[in-house]
Structures are given as C-alpha cells and as structure tokens.
Homo-oligomer: A and B are copies of this chain.
C-alpha cells in the first residue's frame, strides 16, 4: 500500500475527552476513530491488526476442533428469562431496544443462552457430543464508564467460544485444552511472557473461574503474581486462593493487569435452567455440561498498544503488525529505486507500506515510528550511489546498511 493511497493521515489532534494511552496512540497513528466513549471505528490500518489477531485466535480454536459461526446481536427475551439473566438488575450492561410492536429485544453482550437455545434443537444423543463452536462478534455492553480506550468498549470485537459435553470429565479435559490454546494465542500475540492464568471468582457457578491477565500499567485489575512459580491470583479471591495453593501472601508481587481472556465452567447449571439434555447410552436424559471461553480481540489490541509503545509511538509485534515494512523514499533517484523495491517486495507477498509522499524525510521517519511498523527501509539518493539500503528496527532502534542481496537475505525474499 502506498501512503498516498492510504485513507487516513497521522494527526496531532485528539478528542478532548480521550485520556487513555492506547486510544491516543491509535488515533494519532490513524488506526482508529472515536465515535463516542467506548465506541471506535477501525480504520484500514486498525482493521488489518484486528484481522491478524482474529486469524491467530481462529487457527488456535480450529486446532481444538471448534467450529466458527456467527450469531446475532438482536436477542429475544425468552431464552434469557429462562436463566434469569434478562433482568437489568441481574445483568447491568444490557442495551435493549424495541420492535415496532413494542416487543423488547436485547443486544447481545454474551451468547450462552442463544447457544443453548439453538443447540437444544441439534443435540439429542450422547453421540452428538462433544461440540464446540465460536464466533468473532461485535458485542455491545452498556458500560457506565468507558475511559480505557479500546481496552473497555461499549462496542468491541470478542471471540466467544462455547463447548458442550456429556460428562464433567470431558468438559474438564476440553477446558484444559482451551487453556493451552489460549496460552498459544498470547504467545503468538507477543504477550505470552506477561500473561498469567489466574484464579478468579467463579460467581455462582464454580469456586474459581480462570482469567488470563496481562501485566499492564493501564489495566483495571490488581494481580498478585509469583513469577517463578508462574502463579497469579486476582485480588478478589486472594485469601482463599493462597490457602488452596498453600502459599503465603507475602511471596506474591502486586501488579496492575488487564484481563485478556476469561473462561468459565458452567457445569450443568445453565442446562438445568434451560432444559438442555441429551439421551445417554441407556436412553436416560442427562443435562449437558457447558464451558464458555472469551477473548476480547480489540481489548488485546489495546493492551498490546499500551505495552509495546514508547514516546515516539507504537511498536507492533511482527505477528500482528498491519505491515511488515515501512519503505521510505528520499530524493529523485531514491524514489525510482524505492518504486522498484516496492514492486519487487509486494510481488513476493511482503506487506509493505510505502511512504511515497512528497514531504520532508523527517516527517516520514516520524510517521514510521508513530505507526510502529517493525522494519523501516530507507532508499535515498545518497544510498543509491553506494548501492545500499538502510534498514532500521523499530523495536531495538538498530540500523544497518545492506546490499540488495543482504536485504533479500534479511527479509527472506528472493532477489
């Protein structure tokens, strides 16, 4: 993509009410646009990052035999009444609306009830189990406050997965597979080392649920971690968990963190509420076991923007960067050579954002840093004379002068 064809410009203007670092950086670099508090448009650059995160999550969910589908925002009341989660007093984040005939509808903030309502028509026998399904969906949540940029959205992309099982053991096994899949996701997103599977409150259903918490200054949660033992506990269950883990509170380090994933073992509670059963091999009706597994896709993007950035701008991990290379041309000869290099690289499928604008080199360099593309390649008149390309690593700041062959080697492309 050429910068002259890119829809958006970088900007120094920020919405007056935008106080979060992730949204400030992403707005300045042209990744997102703020519609209102907690509601953001994903511009072409931002959409590329979202899609890359989704693809990583998709591959890992497919590996544990989950099937992708897409459910709906509009939710009839009946199925949510069965589990007593329709009431605004029980669930205080519903957005609701009305049909012309005044029938009240909800806008989905999660999909357990919708999934059970659908699958109780599909699953009849133990032979139909286990089943796992997931979606990427724009969830709507009526948050009282939304001041954390894309880390807490009123409208945000979530991967939500639901698994259904004949027995508690089968659910437990899958639940562990899901934990491993989630770990692979965070590793691939570049936040694996700072992300902990934590003991969190299970609400009414289980003693503990599991959260995936990433150490992050901008996070809204408090975590107690033991880095060597790889243990992390949420503040709300600290006493209980320490007892359970036979660990003293004083051994734990207190850090701020952001929840990037949350998984629940619902057991048969929801299936009992909704009469979701299967016939076992004795033809007896049994309740289905349900697991629920969420990853906030756009929240993860916000956490990564917070963690991997400096005073100059964003620093994307390679796996989710919108482009791999920011190509800067300087001067007439430099531009001719950069045109050629752009063609060569894009022909080979390398994702290049080519700053072909007629502006000062300093502005191009500043944009390269603000946008956070992993590698910058500079082609100038002076470098062309030396038959050299300058390559700069956004993360380390390392600079090298390479011949074309060395450049191709570095990028893993063919000359």
What is the interface of chain A, defined by CB distance below 8 A to chain B? Answer: 5-9, 11, 13, 33, 35-36, 39-44, 46-47, 50, 65, 67-76, 95-100, 105, 107, 114, 118, 121-122, 131, 133, 138, 140, 142, 144, 154-155
Contact = CB atoms under 8 A, between A and B. Distances in A.
A35 B67 contact: no
B95 A69 contact: no
Contact of A44 (B11, B43, B67): B67
A400 to B, nearest CB: 33
A82 to B, nearest CB: 15
A5 B68 CA distance: 12
B13 A42 contact: no
22 contacts: A5-B65, A7-B67, A7-B131, A8-B122, A33-B118, A33-B121, A35-B114, A39-B74, A41-B69, A41-B71, A41-B114, A44-B68, A44-B69, A44-B133, A47-B69, A50-B70, A72-B155, A73-B73, A73-B140, A74-B154, A95-B97, A95-B98
Nearest to A34: B118
Contacts of A155: 72-74
A33 B69 CA distance: 11
Contacts of A8: 122
Contacts of A50: 70
Contacts of A43: 69
Contacts of A11: 121
A75 B36 CA distance: 8
Contacts of A154: 74
B6 A74 contact: no
Contact of A121 (B13, B68, B74, B114): B13
Contacts of A47: 68-70
A154 B68 CA distance: 22
A70 B155 CA distance: 12
A176 B72 CA distance: 35
B121 A35 contact: no
B133 A74 contact: no
